[in-house]
Amino acid sequence: MPKMTDRERLAKIEADRRKLDEEADTVRQSLRAQYAAHISQIAVEQLSEREFRDLLTHAIRVGGAAAITALKALPITAATTQTSPERRPSDEHGGAARRRPALPPSAASPGDGADSRPAP
């Protein structure tokens, strides 16, 4: 077999690289599809889309083992204190409507009947 020229060798290397890039993309998409199938079995609707994305981004950034260690250190009760999305913010404190504080009698206006004595 004759020796390849530098130009032929470069063309072969570039063709091999394109094939490897395509194969890497195929494997990457397959792996992501497997992870997506796992996610479909988890109740992620308890998180907002932003929280979900941030959680995964930070877990990937610090590494899986470090993220798992940090999350396991959190108290379990923290997950149960979240409010459901159906609740209104006013319901978080017993559902009572927010009221203005009562004014002291000296701050009442003369025409509101707060003072029962007749005016001099």
DSSP 57-100: HHHHHH-HHHHHHHHHTS-THHHHTSPPTTS-GGGGGTTPPP-P
Do 62 and 54 form a contact (C-beta atoms < 8 A)?
Answer: no
- Tell me: pLDDT of 17 over 50: yes
pLDDT, tens only, 72-96: 999 986 555 455 455 445 544 554 5
Name the residue ranges covered by the structural domains of the chain. Answer: 1-42, 46-77
- Tell me: pLDDT of 24 over 60: yes
pLDDT at 102: 61
41 SS3 class? coil
> For residue 83, which of 118, 56, 48, 108 has the smallest C-alpha distance?
48
The mean predicted confidence, pLDDT, of the chain is: 79
Top-confidence range, 17-31, 32-46, 93-107:
17-31
- Tell me: pLDDT of 119 over 80: no
| pTM of the entire predicted model | 0.51
Do 105 and 114 form a contact (C-beta atoms < 8 A)?
Answer: yes
Give the whole-angstrom CA distance, residue 72 versus residue 76.
Answer: 8
